[in-house]
Amino acid sequence: MEIKNIDKLNMRGVIVASPEQLTRGLELAKNIKIKGEFKNVIICGIGGSALPANILDATVTTKIPLYIHRDYDLPASANEDSLIVCISYSGNTEETVSALEKAIHKNITAVAITTGGKLEKMCEEHNIALAKIPAGIQPRSATGYLFSALSTILNNCGIIDDISEDILNTAEELEKINSNLEKEGKALAKKLADKIPVVYASNNFKVASRIWKIKFNENSKIPAFHNYFPELNHNEMVGFTDKKMASGFYVLIIKDKKDHERTLKRMDLTSLILKKKGIKNSFIETVDGSIILKFFEILLLGDWTSYYIAINNKIDPTPVEMVEEFKVMLNK
Is 30 considered catalytic here? no
Which residues pair with residue 227 across a beta bridge?
200
The 8-class DSSP code of residue 247 comes to T
Per-residue exposure over 34-52, b if at least 16 CB sit within 10 Å of its own CB, e if not: beeebebbbbbbbbbbbbb
Reading phi first (left if > 0) and then psi (alpha if -120 to 50, else beta), residue 121 is in alpha
Identify the burial level of 235 via C-beta atoms within 10 angstroms of its C-beta, where 0-12 means exposed, 13-18 middle and 19 or more buried: exposed
> Which of 113, 145, 147, 155 is closest to 131 using CA atoms?
113
Identified catalytic residue from 234, 244, 257, 314: 234
Active-site residue, selected from the candidate residues 95, 120, 182, 218: 218
Residue 327 is among the residues annotated as catalytic for this protein: yes
Catalytic hit among 121, 183, 275, 327 = 327
Kindly list the strands in the beta sheet with 110-114, ordered across the sheet, starting from the edge strand earlier in the chain: 66-69, 40-44, 82-88, 110-114, 129-132
For 68, list phi and psi in degrees, rounded to 5. -110, 120
Active site residues: 218, 234, 327
